[in-house]
Structure 1
Amino acid sequence: MRYLITGAASGIGRAVATQAVRRATGDHPVSLALIDRDQEALGALTEELAGSGVTILPLVVDLEDPVAPAGSVRSAIEAFGGLDAIISNAGVLLGGPLEDIELDAYEKTFAINTRVTWLLGKAAFPALKESRGSIVATASISATHPTPPAGLYSPSKAALVMLIKQMALEWGKYGIRANCVSPGPTDTSLTRNSFGAGVSSASEQNRAYREALIPLRKIGRPDDVADAVLFLAGPQASQITGVDLPVDGGVSLSVMPLAGGAPGYRLDQLNSQYAEVSA
């Protein structure tokens, strides 16, 4: 498999890259174009994966530049002779209420969270058509559940989910599949200050509260999401396209209980569960 992975130097992107390397065999070689703007972190990942027998192409790129996605795709195709999967994982979260957000934050959020996936897919279309390849984008459960105070994050991820569905519909006839994964609360650099373990007393309290609301009672790991990404990108999912797969520990199921919509399972009971977790 020949992958292009954005946001590859940390979090979910890093987990996808390292898991892809672990799954490589002599019969199933792997090539990775690793895209990130953090040169130091990308260099560290490249060094870590060196000697694994996998072909690595690190590319330090700022994907906010509208010409950067196509340039990254061209570099990967030149290096690998084609592409089998685009993993569009890079994202940005610029918080704040809608009435306070500036225009440049709007432009940046949609440029990274939505536009990049379209530009990558457009540039890679001939190669993916030839390989009957796939696109997997990292969306969020915030795409279907408005999430304050991340005023623009939810709309940008909702647009991404619909973009992927549009790709799946239009490009299915060429054998190209397009899918999303939608993580729930997951330990990444984007969420570290909010509920990272050991960051602060406030983050620890927030973490305990969130875990109490998740049916599986745990914050997700990047590897949990990477498993889903690699499944959707690979041949095991050859009949799956246009889906948005939640990888959220079941937290999406908690909306109605929180609203008191299920008799016998109201907010006071959830608060009691939180108190038990916090104790």
Structure 2
Amino acid sequence: MSASLLNKRAIVTGGSRGIGAAIVRKLVEQGAQVAFTYSASPDAAKSLVDELTATGGTAFALQADSADPAGLQAAIRQAVDRLGGLDILVNNAGTLVHALIDDFSQADFDRTMAINVRAPFFAMQEAARHMQSGGRIINVSSNVAVSAAVPGASVYGLSKSALTAMTRSLAHEFAPKGITVNAIQPGPTTTDMTSGMEDFILGMVPAGRMAHASEPAALVAYLAGPDAGFINGAAVTIDGAMTA
């Protein structure tokens, strides 16, 4: 365990699986005390907590559906109470519905925007009430905010473009308070969401491989750390030159 985030208090939304779980692991590895939310994967959440506490880390899970702003804000307040404050917010929870426009339902459109755009907004609103100077907010956007990779991702791309734009605007609002707001924009990453799609995806990535979940997690940890205090309003793409 390194000490770059020693005693920092963090909450990660959607932290039980995939990139979110890798972010939780990395923050704990660097000394942070971490709360994370999950929606529909209690077994994965418990397994992650057990794994991290067994190695001496501090982590706990809170059930919250990011589509419910009031419930998400209540989970953040609960985390703040248990942690004794808040230094880092990582908005990672997201959803992807892949469908062409003729097949896209209004319900799927509304849920995508609720989880990928509305939830981060209200999470940042609540988190900022508890942060002091030196606070860090990191939003997990996507490289589709830079370039559309395939047909059928229009709504997902819209939501992630909105999240990146919101990141830049809120950086201006929070900078006078000493709080930074940045985004990472991962490309194809090996998680359960991309299982079975590797052959299709790899043809689009000049690097010839997909990212390991630990790589975007390491970028989040850097942006949350002491050396990133003057990085604010940035959107850092991590996709092996896919959108270069």
TM-score (norm 1): 0.81
Q: Which residue is 1:158 aligned to?
A: 161
Equivalent of 2:202 in 211, 219, 222: 211
CA distance in 2, matches of 1:98, 1:190: 21
Residue 100 (structure 1) aligned with residue 103 (structure 2): yes
- Matched residue of 1:67: which SS? helix
What is the CA–CA distance in structure 2 between the aligned matches of 1:76 and 1:225, rounded to whole Å? 24
Partner amino acid, structure 1, of 2:44: A
- Could you tell me which residue of structure 2 aligns to residue 226 of structure 1? 217
Q: Give the distance between the partners of 2:222 and 2:80, measured in 1 at CA.
A: 22
Q: What are the within-5 Å matches in structure 2 for residues 54-133 of structure 1?
A: 54-128=57-131, 130-133=132-135
Q: How far 1:222 moved relative to its partner?
A: 0.5
Once the 2 structures are TM-superposed, how far is the Cα of residue 70 of structure 1 from its aligned partner? Answer: 0.7
Counterpart residue identity of residue 110, structure 1:
M
Q: In structure 1, what is the Cα distance between the partners aligned to 2:175 and 2:133?
A: 13
Aligned to 1:137, the other structure's residue is in SS state strand
Per the alignment, residue 16 of structure 1 pairs with 23
> Displacement, 1:81?
1.3
C-alpha separation between the residues in 2 aligned to 1:35 and 1:177? 22
Instruction: Count the aligned residue pairs.
Output: 235
- Select which of 6, 9, 28 maps to 2:13: 6
Q: For structure 2, which runs of at least 5 residues remain unmatched after alignment?
A: 1-7
**1:212, distance to aligned residue in structure 2 (A):** 4.2
Q: Does 1:143 align with 2:145?
A: yes
> What's the CA shift for 1:190?
2.1
Q: Which structure 1 segments of 5+ residues have no match?
A: 25-29, 196-204, 254-279
Q: What residue number does 1:33 align with?
A: 35
Contact 1:138 1:181 in 2 (8 A): yes
Q: For the residues of structure 1 that align with 2:188 and 2:209, how far apart are their CA atoms? A: 9
After superposition, what is the alpha-carbon deviation per residue over 1:17-59, rounded to whole angstroms, capped at 9, x for unaligned? 11122222xxxxx211111111111011111111333322210
| Structure 2 Cα separation of the partners of residues 140 and 121 of structure 1 | 18
What is the CA–CA distance in structure 1 between the aligned matches of 2:12 and 2:56, rounded to whole Å? 18
Greater Rg, structure 1 or structure 2? 1
Choose from 175, 178, 181 the match for 2:181.
178
Q: Which moved more, 1:220-229 or 1:143-152?
A: 143-152
Q: Structure 2 counterpart of 1:151, which letter?
A: S
Match of 2:56 in 1: 53
TM-score, normalised by the number of residues in structure 2: 0.92
The higher relative CO (CA closer than 8 Å, separation ≥ 6) is in 2
**Which string of whole-angstrom CA distances, capped at 9 and with x for unpartnered residues, describes residues 209-259 of structure 1?**
x33442322111110110111111111110001111011011112xxxxxx
Mapped partners of 1:12, 1:110: distance in 2: 20
1:21 touches 1:52 (CA, 8 Å); kept in 2?
no
